[in-house]
Amino acid sequence: MVCTFFFVPAGFEGKKMVSATAESTSETKKMVSATAETTKETKNTVSATAESIKSNIIPVSAPADTSKTTTMKINGIKIGNLRNDEHFQFMQFTLALTRETGAAALRVEPQYNTLAAAVAREDEALKKIMKSALTADIAAADRERDRVFRGMVDAVKSAHGHFNPTIAETARRLMIILDTYGNVAAKSHIEETSALYNLCRDLVSRHANECEALGLMVWIVELQRLNRVVEGLLAGRADEGAARSSLVMKEARAEADAAFGALAAMVSAQGLVATVGTDTAAVALFEGFVRRLNERIDMAENALLIRRGVAKAKAAKKKAEAEKAAAAAANGEDGSGGGEGGSGEGGGDPAPQPEPETPQP
Same domain, 128 and 245: yes
83: left (phi over 0), alpha (psi -120 to 50) or beta: beta
Determine the pLDDT at residue 186: 87
Low-confidence ranges of the chain (pLDDT < 50): 1-8, 10, 12-15, 17-18, 20-21, 42, 46, 49-50, 52-64, 66, 334-351, 356-361
Determine the pLDDT at residue 146: 94
The closest alpha carbon to 360, from 169, 193, 242, belongs to: 193
Determine the pLDDT at residue 226: 94
Tell whether 336 is covered by a domain.
Answer: no
CA distances from 288 to 64, 87, 259 (A): 20, 23, 21
Residue 357 is classified by DSSP as -
Determine the pLDDT at residue 346: 42
Same domain, 151 and 215: yes
Tell whether 228 is covered by a domain.
Answer: yes
How far from chain centre, in Å, is Cα 100? 26
Same domain, 229 and 245: no
Determine the pLDDT at residue 35: 54
Distance CA 58, CA 62 (A): 8
**Identity of the residue numbered 75:** N
Tell whether 353 is covered by a domain.
Answer: no
Determine the pLDDT at residue 163: 93
Mean pLDDT of the chain: 77
Of 266, 292, 307, which residue is a domain's last? 307
350: left (phi over 0), alpha (psi -120 to 50) or beta: beta
The closest alpha carbon to 291, from 268, 269, 273, 274, belongs to: 268
Question: How many independent structural domains does the chain possess?
Answer: 2
Determine the pLDDT at residue 361: 39
Tell whether 143 is covered by a domain.
Answer: yes
Tell whether 106 is covered by a domain.
Answer: yes
Tell whether 235 is covered by a domain.
Answer: yes
Query: Which residue range is the domain that position 189 belongs to?
Result: 136-239
Determine the pLDDT at residue 133: 57
Determine the pLDDT at residue 31: 58
Determine the pLDDT at residue 335: 42
Same domain, 140 and 223: yes
Same domain, 256 and 288: yes
Tell whether 171 is covered by a domain.
Answer: yes
Determine the pLDDT at residue 248: 81
Tell whether 33 is covered by a domain.
Answer: no
Determine the pLDDT at residue 150: 93
Determine the pLDDT at residue 240: 52
> Is the Cβ–Cβ distance between 160 and 142 less than 8 Å?
no
> Is the Cβ–Cβ distance between 249 and 129 less than 8 Å?
yes
Same domain, 112 and 148: no
Determine the pLDDT at residue 40: 61
The closest alpha carbon to 63, from 219, 226, 268, 273, belongs to: 273
Of 183, 215, 239, which residue is a domain's last? 239
Determine the pLDDT at residue 89: 94
Determine the pLDDT at residue 254: 93
Determine the pLDDT at residue 132: 61
Distance CA 72, CA 325 (A): 55
Determine the pLDDT at residue 27: 61
Of 239, 265, 284, which residue is a domain's last? 239
Q: Is the model's pTM score more than 0.85?
A: no
> Is the Cβ–Cβ distance between 239 and 101 less than 8 Å?
no
Same domain, 127 and 207: no
